[in-house]
Structure 1
Amino acid sequence: MPPSFTEQPRSNERPSVAPTRTDRLARFASGLIGGPFGDHAVDPPRRRYWTPVRVVLLTGLVAFAISWLQKYPCASGGWTDWAQYTNACYTDIRALWGAERLNEGAIPYRDHPVEYPVLTGWFMGVLGQIAFRLGNIFGTDGGPIFYHLNAIVLFICGAAAIAILHRIREDNRRTDLPGPNPDPALVHSRPSRPWDAMMLAAAPIVLVTATVNWDLFAIALSMPFFLYWQRSRPIMAGLFLGLAVAAKFYALLFIGPLLILAFRQRKLLPALQATATAAVVWAVINAPVAYFWRDSWMRFFELNSERPVDWGTGWYVLRGVTGWEKLWDSEYVNDLYLVLFALSCIGIALLGLFAGRRPGIPGLRGIATADDLMPRLAQLCFLVVAAFLLFGKVWSQQYVLWLLPLAVLARPKWGAFLLWQAAELFYFFSFYGKMLQVSADGEDRGIPEFLFLTAAASRWIMVAVMCALIVQEVLIPRLDSVRGLRPRPRPAAATPPPRETSDPAPAAAP
């Protein structure tokens, strides 16, 4: 009987990947700190305190501290002269303190409808009650208290997401093997990649979007889903998937890739167990609110169907460039979105079923074999969530946080990642320039429309480029750095024929 996964050597006993050897940009940047990892370096170094997880978490905490400083001008509220836009420090957390009546001690759903899924509503409600009561005790405005409490808890959530991503990549088990009991030697055949988590910790966009909304809470709940699925624990994976969906609906998009790959791997039962567990968890969380305050509970679903085309979406850019008046009709855009997203999901499903399949194996009818190089779960999840954003009519600035950990899991390469981050930063600051131009109408402030359209288009294009690169690595698995596949051997060059013996030099003339 094969040993269980827990009996295998820990990932830190396996060789780990040095980014300065495998990533060209990391190799170039390492010149600032002494150059790439040396041939004679001890890996891992003995008696060291600064392990990868500590370095990565410290980097993340520094990033969160900078993010807190960046949003600090808006924490006190009372925004005047459009300071939330000129300082680019707007945050829904502070704005909804009054809009959701938390400043009156209101309890979400019971006293006021909330535009978020239930678990996020409870999150803001619990911290809102604490801030409201502390404000009454100290005789001060609870708004700043509410923001700072949320920032602290969200930073803890972000640190947890970084630590879990580090654990996923440190272990780096294979989940693409067919059958219920794959060979443990194959499961642990990939090298450890603990430094991949640095991409999440040091992502530039985190500096300005970490506390725009409560998305870090949902991300911290979604990351254990990938960890426990990697460890072949479907019930625990489903538990966290259900919690994540109850916090933000984007995690629901993980179920399709999960089922597609499970069908191909002949692991459909564990995937169904995870999906059923997620459904039960989501229902248990939502049922009391739906039963007692149905109208408030329905507010989230009604708002998403009624919302017009949002700033910065592909539809907004298309409308601005072409002047197509039909794109003002939100119902028409809804229909187009559903068609394009459905077609995208069909394409991703076909990619998951057939990419990397080894031909010529009779009787298997497309089911994976040990020789197949099938897509990884994170690759398909990134593609589905990206398609949802690329074709959706709402694309808020903080939604980039949904894609960040998926991008690290799907394609941990710095080059295109940083270009994408630059496009996101360009859009972030352009968005506030556009908001200032709209809000301070007649005051000649903000940025022109063409610049905003350029920023929105650059973001759309870079996410599409990331999708194209991931599809390329699905189709050509040897380009996928996570798999650690050796390049195909090149045929040896033909041995040149021996040169003919040259004639002796002529004797000197007498």
Structure 2
Amino acid sequence: MPLSRPTAEIAAPTRTDALARFASGFIGGPLGDHATDPPQRRFWTPLRIMLFTGLVAFAISWLQKYPCAAGGWLDWNQYTQACYTDIRALWGAEKLDLGAVPYRDHPVEYPVLTGWFMGILGQIAFRIGNIAGVDGGPIFYHLNAIVLIACGTAAIAVTYLIRRDNRRTDLHGTEAEASQVFSRPSRPWDAMMLAAAPIILVTATVNWDLFAVALAMPFFLYWQRDRPVVAGLFLGLAVAAKFYALLFIGPLLILALRRRRLTPALQATATAALTWAVINAPVAALWPESWLRFFELNSERPVDWGTGWYVLRGITGWEQLWDAEYVNDRYLLLFALSCIGIAALGYFAGRSRGAESLTGAVKKVWPDTVPRLAQLCFLVVAAFLLFGKVWSQQYVLWLLPLVVLARPQWGMFLVWQVAELCYFAAFYGKMLQVSAEDGRGIPEWMFLAAASFRWLAVATMCAFVVREILSPRLDAVRSLRTGPTPATPPQPDREEPDPAPVAAP
């Protein structure tokens, strides 16, 4: 008889998260046993509450950068007011103020889709400025801020949809039947971690990363809904906007290989590659030198502020770490070793409890022990940042939704957010120290301490995710209940007679 799927329950944060339960004491306490969930007041649904929270956070971020929107920064006010944004700085640096078309008239340091993004809005701002007889720079910043806020809001909505469903679709046949016993609860409130993340207040409009995040999140949604071609389409768009999304392909293929279901993963990968090629081919063909600028810049860049290599150089005085080629080789080696370790974790973790040996009828009750795609994607992107030679402040936006999907628990999440905010403040103190000539800014040791705190916070979160992969019952997303062990066969129904004993050999 097929195993029926229980009705999905909603995991209330005040019941499943210790920090949320404690904080709820200030507004009435945890959700009670007799509460109506979802509430009958239909307007303020969970999605609307989270979208409103996100819009408020994005609006504050917009206002936080407002002092720098006019340009003409004097007395280093972009650092003293912590309002620096690449969007405003690149208005002149990329010659958008002269009406330049990215790649055709001037090489840009971003992948093609981001280049088009800034180019289209740059043309609009340039023409509006000419018609109105005003500087188009503030117009350019505000146009970008509006569109990026829309992108961030879309990312929150997609995260909500992923966690509301909270299902897995990488199983088939008897495995799918067996997995229904361990139905995952719906977790729509996890998206609040993205909407209310404190770091959003200061990084949302530093660069165009929210655009790439908004394109990357539907990849997880449509992969979860078993639509690999659409998932691959969004993955290709995300890679064309920011290359970090390319790192998702490795975990995707490892899990597909483990489940012996390569076809959907190959469909998604091929669609992503085709999408990326269609977007990049015209630019690469027409303006190859401008197109190659992004790749050349990434290979030539020295050790950047706040990276693990910068901290190591500051603590040890290791002069060789000034050599970009030397660091490149070490970084690539460490990142490759990390990827091999993550691949092994994804392929072997939980196999002794898994359902790989199921054939025919259900022989075992299989709990949800295969690592989740989001967990492996988070680990790969985190390793890329931990061992990379560039770790810009806005890269935190890459990790935010991955953390929400990989480990939606508020405690360590807020510790990490505090670390990111400390680094944000220290970064501008350091920039002021190296730019101004009047002794302003912070000492080097303080900047190294903030950068170390951020590095250790991300590394600790990786350790927690690895632990939950190895011990799936610690994973809040799976919410595994106590049930029959994989080695225990299902017991016969009470109405049926006990099976005849097996004859002794």
Instruction: Give the structure-1-normalised TM-score.
Output: 0.90
2:412 is aligned with what amino acid?
A: A
Q: What residue is the counterpart of 1:495 in the other structure?
A: none
1:183 match: secondary structure: helix
Of 173, 176, 181, which aligns to 1:182?
176
Whole-Å Cα distance in 2 between the matches of residues 342 and 28 of structure 1?
41
Q: Provide the secondary structure at the position in 1 that maps to 2:32.
A: coil
Letter aligned with residue 435 of structure 1? M
Task: Measure how far apart 1:488 and its partner are.
Answer: 7.5
2:389 is the alignment partner of 1:393: yes
The equivalent position to 1:239 in structure 2, one of 233, 244, 256, is 233
* Contact 2:433 2:439 (8 Å CA) reproduced: yes
- Aligned partner of 2:460: which letter? V
Change (3 A) 1:255 1:361: closer
Residues 482 and 436 from structure 1, CA distance in 2 versus in 1: closer, same or farther, beyond 3 angstroms? same
In the TM superposition, what whole-angstrom CA distance separates every residue of 1:86-125 from its partner, at most 9, and x where no partner exists?
A: 0000000000000000000000000000100000000000
Q: Which runs of 5+ in 2 are unaligned?
A: 359-363, 485-505
- Alpha-carbon separation, structure 1, partners of 2:353 and 2:372: 19
Q: State the alpha-carbon separation in 2 of the partners of residues 211 and 187 from structure 1.
A: 44
1:33 pairs with 2:27? yes
Q: 1:363 to 1:29 in 2, by over 3 A?
A: closer
Of 409, 415, 419, 1:419 maps to 415
In structure 1, the partner of 2:405 is 409
2:203 aligned partner: 209
Evaluate the alpha carbon distance shift between residue 296 and residue 36 of structure 1 in structure 2; reply closer, same or farther with a 3 A threshold.
same
8 Å contact kept, 1:176–1:374: no
In structure 2, relative to structure 1, the CA distance for the partners of 1:141 and 1:484 (3 Å cut) is same
The separation in 1 between residues aligned to 2:325 and 2:44, in whole angstroms, is 54
The residue that corresponds to 1:342 in the other structure is 336
Structure 1 Cα separation of the partners of residues 159 and 372 of structure 2: 15
CA distance, structure 2, for counterparts of residue 362 and residue 119 of structure 1? 40
Distance 1:360 1:162, change over 3 A: closer
Q: CA deviation at 1:216?
A: 0.1
Q: How does 1:49-88 map to 2 (within 5 A)?
A: 49-88=43-82
CA-to-partner distance for each residue in 1:195-223, whole Å, 9 max, x for gaps?
00000000000100000000000000000
Matching residue's letter, 1:374: V
Q: Distance in 1 between matches of 2:366 and 2:96?
A: 55
CA deviation map 1:454-505 (0-9, x unaligned): 000000000000000000000010000000112589xxxxxxxxxxxxxxxx
1:358 alignment partner, SS class: helix
TM superposition score normalised by structure 2: 0.91
Map of 2:250 onto structure 1: 256
Deviation per CA, 1:111-146, whole angstroms, max 9, x where unpaired? 000100000000000000000000011110000000
CA distance in 2, matches of 1:89, 1:184: 53
Number of residue-to-residue matches in the alignment: 479
Contact 1:243 1:281 in 2 (8 A): yes
- Aligned counterpart for 2:462 among listed residues 445, 467, 473: 467
Provide the C-alpha distance between the structure 2 equivalents of 1:360 and 1:224, rounded to a whole number of angstroms.
28
CA offset at residue 47 of structure 1? 4.1
Residue in structure 1 matched with residue 90 of structure 2 by the alignment = 96
Q: Which amino acid aligns with 2:70?
A: S
Residue 444 of structure 1 is aligned with which of 412, 429, 439? 439
Counterpart pick for 1:479 among 460, 470, 474: 474
Asked whether the 8 Å contact 2:190–2:404 carries over to 1, the reply is yes
Aligned with residue 374 of structure 2, among 371, 374, 378: 378
Task: Tell me the CA shift for residue 184 of structure 1.
Answer: 9.4
| Aligned equivalents of 1:374, 1:178: Cα separation in 2 | 14
Question: How far does the alpha carbon of each residue in 1:349-386 deviate from its partner, in whole angstroms, 9 at most, with x for none?
Answer: 0000010112698978xxx9945611000000000000
Cα distance in structure 1, aligned partners of 2:8 and 2:244: 35
Conservation of the 8 A alpha-carbon contact between 2:69 and 2:138: yes
Counterpart in 2 of 1:504? none
Match of 2:10 in 1: 16
Does the 8 Å contact 2:354/2:370 carry over to 1?
no
Partners of 2:483 and 2:354 lie apart in 1 by: 20
- Aligned partner of 1:456 in structure 2 is 451
Q: Deviations over 1:317-339 (max 9, x none)?
A: 00000111111111010000011
2:355–2:366: 8 Å Cα contact kept in structure 1? no
Q: What code does the residue aligned with 2:126 have?
A: F
Q: Give the Cα–Cα distance (whole angstroms) in 1 for the partners of residues 241 and 60 of structure 2.
A: 26
Q: What is the CA distance between 1:190 and its match in structure 2?
A: 1.2
Structure 1 stretches of 5 or more lacking a match? 3-7, 490-510
- Other-structure match for 2:349: 355
1:472 partner amino acid: R
Q: Could you tell which deviates more after superposition, 171-180 or 192-201? A: 171-180
> Residues 376-423 of structure 1: CA distance to partner in whole angstroms, max 9, x if unpaired?
000000000000000000000000000000000000000000000000
State the distance in 2 between where 1:369 and 1:327 align: 53
1:433 and 2:429 correspond:
yes
Give the AA of the match of 1:159. T
Per-residue deviation at 1:15? 1.7
For residue 452 of structure 2, what is the amino acid of its counterpart? A
Alignment correspondent of 1:282 = 276
Q: Distance in 1 between matches of 2:356 and 2:455?
A: 43
The 1:374–1:20 alpha-carbon spacing in structure 2 relative to 1, beyond 3 Å, is: same
Structure with max Cα Rg:
1
Q: Secondary structure at the match of 1:336?
A: helix
Summarize the Cα distance change of 1:333–1:233 in structure 2 as closer, same or farther, 3 Å threshold.
same
* Cα distance, 1:31 vs structure 2: 1.1
Q: Conserved in 1, the CA contact under 8 Å of 2:222 and 2:230? A: yes
Aligned mates of 1:47, 1:14 — CA distance in 2: 21
Question: Partners of 1:360 and 1:335 in 2: how far apart?
Answer: 38
Cα distance in 1 for partners of 2:275, 2:356 equals 41
Residue 38 to residue 377, structure 1, CA distance change in 2 (3 Å): same
Q: Which ranges of 4 or more aligned residues in structure 1 deviate by more than 4 Å?
A: 178-181, 359-364, 368-372
Describe the SS at the equivalent of 2:351: coil
Cα distance in 1 for partners of 2:254, 2:153 equals 31
Identical amino acids, percent of aligned pairs: 77
1:45 Cα deviation from its structure 2 partner: 2.0
Is 2:222–2:231's contact at 8 Å kept on the other side of the alignment? Answer: yes
